[in-house]
Structure 1
Amino acid sequence: MNTSLALAVFSHAKHSSAELAACRFAEESDFYASAPFSGCMILQTCNRVEILIHGGADALSAYLAEAGKEGFAVLEGEAVLSHLLELAAGTQSLIVGEDQILGQMKKALSAAEEAGAADAVISACVSNAVRFGVSVRQKTAINRGAVSIGSAAVLLAEEELGTLDGRNILVVGGGETGRLVAKALSEKDIRAIYVANRSFENAVALAEEIGGRAMRLDQLYSCLAEADVVISCTAAPHEIIRAEPLSALMKTRLWPLDESPRKLLMIDIASPPDIEYACADISGVSLYTIDDLEGISKRNMESRRREIQSAEELITAYLPEFVRIINRTAAGDVLAELYSWAEDIRCREAEKALRAIRSGGDAEEIIEKLTLSLTKKLLDDAGAAVRRSAEECRIDQAKSLVTAITARKP
């Protein structure tokens, strides 16, 4: 392809959740402020960190090295577009076929555009990939009955406990993933669902939607005292459930004659993590992370193997058209430069003609000189290029230049 594109990928496919958390950019606004690219976008989810740039792979690798970010795989050219199509189709997701990635890609593009970082090429790459992802879901059954990360966490809880019937469940986080968790829980015969969130209004809205109870985040530990299962999925940049207070709380879950506290199952699907890893060492606590969803992910992939193949065939068929779209979009920058150059010539020559008219010159003669001057200046460089090509025995290139300029056979 004629357009320079590069993509850095750090995902669940090769890295643990702890490694993913370490490679994240804490503030995306800082990334956009420091990124030295003509166009770029960063996508950060619980399963991946990806940076798309309108530029070369060497420039992207140099930026990552300077930022101290290691372990990224860097793609370039058509491989970038192929990856974007796979991503949007859901074949690169931890839970194959999940729909959440489409919203995440659109949200990332919107943030890049608001930051003034996404040029026409970046916007075309992402928006066309998202449209393709929607089309794949319409043409295949890749997302039919598919589970999301949120519902996979609920399945994990069921597998560990045998059943969620009669359990008290606490969902920490009222964003998109929290909503998916709560929706999956609402279909179970559980005793109570509690929703805790930094924004109490969001917690209330989600709790009302699923028939649960909203809790303020400062009530978190009192909720933990009553919960059988905790699924945490906030967007907090730091841990919100710490080992020391949780250890003290677990002692309140112990009846006088009990040998150990009532068990607490904790599933952390946030990135960076919401729950301090040391919580796993507390008696009565079982802590799971995104890495533990691998078994569910593998079973999901097996059930969708035929649909993955169908999606890959659609990707192969669409890729050449995608390349043409991006090349055509990139040409817009070149055309803008061409039009700007021609406009500068037009303005200068028009000003000369107007001065001559104001000085009393003959209008017909002035117009004649104006048109001759415009023709000469607009065609001088193109004419020189045609002559150079002919002199160097590249007559086909000379003819192509004439055809491109005149839109007719020379």
Structure 2
Amino acid sequence: MNDGLLVKIAIAGLDHTIASQKDLETFRFQDEEEFIRQARSLFKGAILLQTCNRVEVLVQGEPDDLARFMQGTGRNQFTIHHGLGALRHLLGLAAGINSMIVGEDQILGQMRQALLSSTEYGGNSQIIDICINTAIHFGVMVRQKTMINRGSVSIGSAAVRLAEDLLGTLKKRHILVVGTGEMGRLVTKALQEKDLTAIYVTNRTYERAVELADEIGGKAVTFKDLFPFIILSDVVISCTAAPHPVIRHMDLEKAMQGRTWPLDTGPKPLVIIDIAQPRDTDDTIREIPGVHLYTIDDLRSISEENLAARQNETDTIRSLIEAELGTFIQRINRAAANDTIAALHTWAEAIRIRERDKAINRLGKADHKTIQIVDDLSRVLTGKILADATMAIRISAEQCDLESAGMIVDAITKGEKICFQRHD
């Protein structure tokens, strides 16, 4: 048994609380499809959740097997959650209390996308599906019942807050946003509230830059003009999904020359905030005079303030998590009984077909309608006869007693006596 669970569930995770952004970048799996394929060969189900601040691997299997699997991929720094602890971790994750920015809503969409990808790549299972969907539904519920996300900031708006803290004000500033995905939209949404002179938006797909720029009243920029517009900007917030840096040392160093007037002793300062995962910038650009580079690691102070402000809500949610665990376990255990139920119905279906065929043969030359009536009757009778037994099996499973469920099946299919143990 596993904390009342009839199936083994385990999570291997690494997040911002124990790892730097550089460590997380190294830990990430570049080929999600290949990862799911490998995991699925060892576990009954697997899903990979990768965000800016965490990598989580959930499997239907033993925690020790998951640890060995992760180590086999060259990853040794991770935390293992299993059984009830894994369920508790999933609920906290969906509720946003484990996020760098407490209460952020983006995690729910990220979990949905991870489930879609797992399904597409053949990693999903009924148990994994129940785990993720239960967590998502819980995350939605706590945001309705509490104020955990009321006025909350995302990583995107936290980046804008950091820029404002660094410059004192964003009023009359020029800001370039690189990337038009979910994070880029969060950044531009936060920037709309500031009294900026200009918001520039660029993306490798120019049409997407135009679309986002039109929504916010900004200016779309072709990606080939990235560095000319870096020259014009006070702040660059970069958040693409590129697998490699898009702001490289040599190109930026050349661009910074355009930020120096003849009588100046150095270039006009440029703030670059890189919130992409993997990183959009070469770390060596810190060495370029006038460049001030910040990454997600620099948002931790904002995260700490955010956590302190929401501590009461976090405590409430932890109580809601504990209250939800019993129902969560029941859902999983009900699904765990499916193999036992399938064995019962397979046995019954074989008998149904045999007896149906006998009846049809006795009818002689029966027409199609008659044959269909006999088939429908036998199917309905079989289902109704097994209904109570099926319910008893599911109830036994909910109570973490699959042994009794097995005895019910054996009594029906093999005529074995049910021996219930006395508990004094």
Partner of 2:12: 8
After superposition, the Cα gap between the structure-2 partners of 1:334 and 1:274, relative to the gap in structure 1 and judged at 3 Å, is: farther
After superposition, the Cα gap between the structure-2 partners of 1:230 and 1:334, relative to the gap in structure 1 and judged at 3 Å, is: farther
> Pick from 56, 80, 91: which aligns with 1:85?
91
> Pick from 57, 62, 66: which aligns with 2:63?
57
Q: Deviations over 1:229-265 (max 9, x none)?
A: 0111111111111111111111121111111101110
Once residues 276 and 248 of structure 2 are traced to their aligned partners in structure 1, the CA distance between those partners, rounded to angstroms, is 15
Match of 1:53, SS state, is: strand
Count of residue pairs brought into register by the alignment: 379
Partner of 2:134: 128
- Answer yes or no: is 1:168 the counterpart of 2:174: yes
Once residues 54 and 115 of structure 2 are traced to their aligned partners in structure 1, the CA distance between those partners, rounded to angstroms, is 15
Give matches, 1:101-112, under 5 Å.
Answer: 101-112=107-118
Once residues 334 and 287 of structure 1 are traced to their aligned partners in structure 2, the CA distance between those partners, rounded to angstroms, is 58
Residue type of the alignment partner of 2:196: I
- Alpha carbons 2:96, 2:105 under 8 Å: kept: yes
- Alpha carbons 1:389, 1:395 under 8 Å: kept: no
Q: Deviations over 1:65-104 (max 9, x none)?
A: 2222221211111111101110111100000011111111
Once residues 205 and 274 of structure 1 are traced to their aligned partners in structure 2, the CA distance between those partners, rounded to angstroms, is 22
Once residues 22 and 409 of structure 2 are traced to their aligned partners in structure 1, the CA distance between those partners, rounded to angstroms, is 61
- Alpha carbons 1:195, 1:207 under 8 Å: kept: yes
Partner of 2:29: 25
Shift of 1:225: 1.3
TM-score (norm 2): 0.84
Structure 2 unmatched runs, 5+ = 366-377, 390-407
- Answer yes or no: is 1:382 the counterpart of 2:411: yes
- Alpha carbons 2:411, 2:418 under 8 Å: kept: no
Partner of 1:220: 226
- Answer yes or no: is 1:288 the counterpart of 2:301: no
Give matches, 1:5-404, under 5 Å.
Answer: 5-35=9-39, 36=41, 37-348=43-354, 350=356, 381-382=410-411, 390=419
Q: What's the C-alpha RMSD, in Å, of the aligned pairs?
A: 2.4
Partner of 2:394: none
**Greater CA drift, 58-67 or 229-238:** 58-67
- Alpha carbons 1:265, 1:285 under 8 Å: kept: yes
Shift of 1:326: 1.5
Residue type of the alignment partner of 1:252: G
Q: Deviations over 1:344-370 (max 9, x none)?
A: 4444565567668779xxxxxxxxxx9
Q: Deviations over 1:279-307 (max 9, x none)?
A: 11110000000000011000111111111
Q: Percent identity?
A: 48
Match of 1:194, SS state, is: strand
Structure 1 unmatched runs, 5+ = 360-369, 398-410
Partner of 1:367: none
